[in-house]
Amino acid sequence: MGHHARILALTAAVAMGISGAAAASRLRYASDVPKSHQKRLEADFERFREIPAIGEDPLLLSMLEIQSPSTEAISDWILARVKVVTGKDFNTGAPGVTVTLREGVVYPQREELPWGVVKGELEDPLPEPGDQPKTVTVMSNLGGALYLDGKLSGNILGVYVPGIPEPLEILSPRVGLVQIDQGLFTNPEPDRLAARLHRVSTMLHEARHSDGTGKSLGFFHFVCPDGHDYAGQEACDVAQNGPYAIEGRALKLFASTCGARCTKKEKEMLRLEAAEMAGRVFPALPAFSGEGAM
Ligand SMILES: [Zn+2]
C-alpha cells in the first residue's frame, strides 16, 4: 500500500510537471505542431518572463495599452491574442476543416471591408494577414481572415484544429488562431536569448492581427509601394500602431533589454531587423482609401 501510494504520488508529480509547463503560456497546441516546437515556444515565454526589467518605450506601451512595463505584462498581452497554435501544413480551406456553425448572423458593420483588403481579393483564396508571401513564412494569424469571411457571409464559422475535438468558434478575431511556419525556427542558435526575443517580437506582430474593428479589423497589410524592398507584396502597414510598428519598436527595445545576455552582433541584428520593420510603416499608401489615423 505504501509503495503503491508512492508510485501514485510520483505519477501525479510528473503529470503536474507537464501541465505546469503547458500552463506557463496557456497556449493550446494542435497535434500537428512538433513537440520540439511546442517546448521551444514554451521556453520562449518562460525565459522572457524571467527577464527582470524590460526597459522604457512609452510609445510601445501606449500602443499595447500596457500601464507598467514588464515582460509579464507583454506576455499576457500576447496570450490574450494568440491562443491556439497550428502546424505549417494546417489548411483552413481543406475539406471539413472550416464549417458553418450558425447561419444568418447579423454582424456589426457587415459591409465594411477592413483597410488593406481589396474587394476583388475576397474570392478564394482568402487574403490572410499572413506575412511575406514570396519569402519564407514565419507565422500567420488565421483568425482575422476567418472572422472576416464569417462576417461577410453572415455566418459564424467553426474550425476543426487537429487534436482539439470541438471546433473553435470564430466569434471574433480574438480567437487567436495562429499558424507557425518553417521560418520561425531557422535561427542557427534557436535557444539563445536573442533568438527568443526575436520570436517574441514575431508573436507580438501576430497578436496585433487579432485586434481591430471595422476598418482596422485584423490590421491586414497593404501592398508595399514601388521601390520598396517588398514592392507588390502585402508586407506594409499604414496603421501607425499596427503589427509592423509594434514589432519594430519591440525589436529595438529588446536589443537594449537583452543587455549583457546578447552579444554585440546579436543586438546589432535585432536593431537591423527593427529598422527593417519600421521601414514597412507608411503614413499613406496608394491603396489606402481611409481617412484619419487608425
Ligand atoms: Zn502580419
- pLDDT tens per residue, range 181-196: 888 998 999 999 999 9
C-alpha of residue 15 to centroid of ligand 1, in Å:
36
Please give the pLDDT value at position 286. Answer: 59
Answer whether residue 16 shows pLDDT above 50: no
- Which residues have C-beta within 8 Å of that of residue 118, sequence separation ≥ 6? 287
Please give the pLDDT value at position 291. Answer: 43
Distance CA(224)–CA(221), nearest Å, equals 9
Give the residue from 195, 183, 186, 184 showing the smallest Cα distance to 267.
195
The angle subtended at Cα 167 by Cα 162 and Cα 172, nearest 5°, is 115
Distance CA(142)–CA(126), nearest Å, equals 10
C-alpha of residue 208 to centroid of ligand 1, in Å:
8
DSSP conformation letters of 141-164: E-HHHHHHHHHHHT-EEEEPPTT-
C-alpha of residue 129 to centroid of ligand 1, in Å:
5
Please give the pLDDT value at position 18. Answer: 39
Grid cell, residue 253, equals: 527595445
Which pLDDT tens digit goes with each residue over 30-56? 999 999 999 999 999 999 999 999 999
Which pLDDT tens digit goes with each residue over 140-157? 999 999 999 999 999 999
C-alpha of residue 236 to centroid of ligand 1, in Å:
9
Domain spans, the chain: 27-278
- So what's the ipTM on this one? 1.00
C-alpha of residue 269 to centroid of ligand 1, in Å:
20
C-alpha of residue 227 to centroid of ligand 1, in Å:
20
Q: Is 18 exposed, middle or buried (0-12, 13-18, 19+ CB in 10 A)?
A: exposed
Answer whether residue 8 shows pLDDT above 70: no
Which pLDDT tens digit goes with each residue over 79-117? 999 999 999 999 999 999 999 999 999 998 887 888 878
C-alpha of residue 5 to centroid of ligand 1, in Å:
51
Distance CA(211)–CA(154), nearest Å, equals 20
C-alpha of residue 219 to centroid of ligand 1, in Å:
8
